[in-house]
Amino acid sequence: MAAGIPLLDLGNQRLKLARSTGPGQVDLIASVRLQELQAEQGVQWLSDELRRFDGPALVCSTRPELLQAWQAESRLADLLLVLQKEQLPLDVRTTGTGMDRLLASLAAWRLSNGAVLVADLGTAWTLDATTAQGAFLGGAIGLGLGMQDRALQEACPHLDLAADQPCSGIPMNTSDAVAEGSRTALALALDALGWAYEQDLEGGAQRYLCGGDARTIAPWMSADWTYADHLVLQGMAWVAHDIGR
């Protein structure tokens, strides 16, 4: 049997499989596009991977229809343990919040030992606030960078793709202009929202940046933000520790 507790982060576009190696500590095993798991061999691969462990995998999902299909699959039904917000040591004061947002905030809160802001950039971007006492207050949701890029290319295919790095001063070419309208605009919005949310966090918070597009936007972000690679999985590892798994 493989060591550790299996963890599954089922996102909008990708599945991450990891194992917990301690409180808040993870070892990433695989990151797979969901399209590759739709076929029969994908289900068999996941079943084979999870049966290497002694016990079911903890699951965080933003894809309920796919999760339900997996739960109905005989090869996976006994291998999945879906996390519930009641298992988290947070005072969740919101309704309808996705488990991925809660887990990322839990991990950041445990890392900082204080108030935190977590910007998660994926299919959608989110910015969430948690107090130093562990009260999850919620936050904002917007269209992710990848979706913005695709929408702009579809509507205006003659435009250049966004530049990879920030320009100096006012953009003077189309590539920099597109980056200014998406990357710079979002970075400034996150900074401004962060400042506004800090007014409800007793004056300050440590800021974390995560998600699939985090590295893309990182050059445009201020130095106030700390990049964290796998906050959702780290949050799951904390829950696994807390519930004695």
Edge-to-edge strand ranges of the sheet holding 124-130: 91-92, 135-143, 124-130, 116-121, 206-210, 225-227
Looking at 9, 100, 120, 128, which residue is catalytic?
A: 100
Contact indicator for 109, 198 with CB cutoff of 8 Å = no
Closest CA to 90 of 79, 78, 101, 75: 101
* 100: annotated active-site residue: yes
DSSP 150: H
* Strand order across the 57-61 sheet: 25-33, 14-22, 5-10, 57-61, 80-82
The residues annotated with a catalytic role in the active site are: 100
